[in-house]
Structure 1
Amino acid sequence: MNALVNVAPLKLDRTRQSAPQVFEALRDLIVSVQLEPGTVLQRAELAEHFGISQTPIRDALLRLGEEQLVDIFPQHATVVSRIDLSAALQAHFLRRSIELEILTALCALPDAPHRELMRRLNASLALQEAALNPLDVPKLALADQAFHQEMYEAAKVGPLWTLVRKQSGHVDRLRRLNLPDEGKPQAIVRDHKAIVDAIAHKDAPAAEKALRQHLAGTLAFVDDIKHRFPQWIISHEQ
């Protein structure tokens, strides 16, 4: 059975290379937990779905393998990987370390760029609020990512967002499993508001405290996620 039978066909931009577009499309499907662990990704089926040859499909799958989002068994199959808790914890550590430094930089911005940052962050908060009522989980997830990316860009370390994103596939999947839980969407927006308020007052310690609470939110529920989705998780426990 085609793994993408219920996924709308992707209209590729013919002015761009196909492989990066296929990679992004498949990555989004995996990270948004639309493709479950163990789902077999057949090159021929993917090529038919995307309307392209198997070469860019192969390249896209190799990139997904580099991010450990798929397990590639040569001459056999490529399957969506389970969530690796060890990789998730490392990605969390990396992101927290970088974003704590970013907040220090943002709280020290001169007045003009600081005002522009506040305008953009408040606009992002408005989008997040709109995604709460009625609740639109995919829209909120995108707004959440965009909120953090805004801070990287404002601190002039935008390329680090690409690095963090590349490492965060496993922890992002944990977040998506946890996101629909009652009260979780509201908690995300509440945490973002606390971060924005601290940046507005250029209060770095308060911003760092709010960020630590925000990023720890999902990991605090790892045991519950493991209990509810045991087929999704691999923890390397002895």
Structure 2
Amino acid sequence: MTSATHAALDLMRYESPLPRTTASSRIYDDLRQRILSLELPPGTNLLRAELAREYDVSQTPLRDALQRLEQDGLIKTYPQSRTLVTRIDMPMINEALFLRRALETEVVVGLSQNAPPETIARARTVIEMQVEVAKDRSQLRRFQELDEYFHFLLFEGLRRENLHSLLRSRSGDLDRVRRLQVHSDEKLRVILKGHADVIDAIEAGKVQRAIEEIRHHTYKPADWADEYRDKFPDYFA
């Protein structure tokens, strides 16, 4: 990788739309990623005593983290019983897709009218990183993380990080299905071109073109997730 790519990796590693200053936030972020990556698949029983030992914390920050995950719809707590990773809910996927397209359309409109130069530069650096990562099929998870970071940068450029956090909290089921995808080389090229086309339109100040590019980039047909439900029926509600 180039020096610019390494620098951007460091940037992504230490910069997050969510604070990491508390034990609760640290546990929440880590467990969330483990659930989204399917390291903790749907139906997994989360044992609080084991988690407290693993993260070396008391029950209080662990409880706070689990409450946030439950608000995101990623776990379900049964009082005096158990805490389970939820199964993927199809209506929630469709809701997240709708919300994503609506919010990101408005974001690119705002950026097309007044995009900070540093947002353009950082987004292009992330695209450069994705190009490098796409050459190694074992790095698909990194590619997906970079994809998520690219979209966060758009919200950040418009100072709408809170809206990105809202979208993030509503997209857990969508993100889990995306992790089930095995992209072909052609699909990776399409994603990369989509990112480049969005940034080109924003930088050129072409509002209508930016709208068309982001809507094309985020479009998925209504039956998009059906094939994954058929392949992994135990993961779905």
Q: What interval of TM-score do these two structures reach, taking the shorter chain for normalisation?
A: 0.7 to 0.9
Cα offset, 1:31, TM superposition: 1.1
Q: Normalising to structure 2: TM-score of the pair?
A: 0.84
Aligned length: 216
Distance in 2 separating the partners of 1:88 and 1:99? 16
Post-superposition CA distance 1:15-35 (Å, at most 9, x none):
943111111110011112211
Amino acid paired to 1:132: A
Please provide the CA RMSD for this pair.
1.9
Distance in 2 separating the partners of 1:99 and 1:66? 23
Residues 1:20 and 2:25 aligned together = yes
Residues 1:108 and 2:113 aligned together = yes
Corresponding residue number in structure 2 for 1:7: none
The 3 A distance-change label for structure 1 pair 41 and 27 is same
Work out whether residues 70 and 80 of structure 1, in 8 Å CA contact, stay in contact via their aligned partners in 2: yes
Work out whether residues 174 and 218 of structure 1, in 8 Å CA contact, stay in contact via their aligned partners in 2: no
Amino acid paired to 1:140: F
Post-superposition CA distance 1:91-146 (Å, at most 9, x none):
22112111101111111117xx3x33322221111111111011312211221111
The 3 A distance-change label for structure 1 pair 86 and 204 is same
Residues 1:189 and 2:192 aligned together = yes
Tell me which of 162, 167, 172 is aligned to 1:164.
167
Corresponding residue number in structure 2 for 1:132: 134
Which aligned runs of 4 or more in structure 1 are off by greater than 6 angstroms? none
Tell me which of 223, 227, 231 is aligned to 1:224.
227
Residues 1:37 and 2:39 aligned together = no
Work out whether residues 175 and 218 of structure 1, in 8 Å CA contact, stay in contact via their aligned partners in 2: no
Amino acid paired to 2:102: S
Amino acid paired to 1:65: E
Work out whether residues 37 and 82 of structure 1, in 8 Å CA contact, stay in contact via their aligned partners in 2: yes
Corresponding residue number in structure 1 for 2:202: 199
Work out whether residues 31 and 169 of structure 1, in 8 Å CA contact, stay in contact via their aligned partners in 2: yes
The answer for unaligned runs of 5 or more in structure 1 is: 1-14
Tell me which of 129, 138, 157 is aligned to 1:154.
157
Post-superposition CA distance 1:39-88 (Å, at most 9, x none):
11000111111122222222211211111101111111101101111112
Q: Normalising to structure 1: TM-score of the pair?
A: 0.84
The answer for unaligned runs of 5 or more in structure 2 is: 1-19
The structure whose RCO (Cα within 8 Å, separation 6+) is larger is 2
Distance in 2 separating the partners of 1:32 and 1:174? 9
Corresponding residue number in structure 2 for 1:82: 87
Distance in 2 separating the partners of 1:127 and 1:219? 31
| 3-state SS of 1:72 partner | strand
Sequence identity, in percent?
32
Distance in 2 separating the partners of 1:219 and 1:193? 25
Distance in 1 separating the partners of 2:183 and 2:38? 15
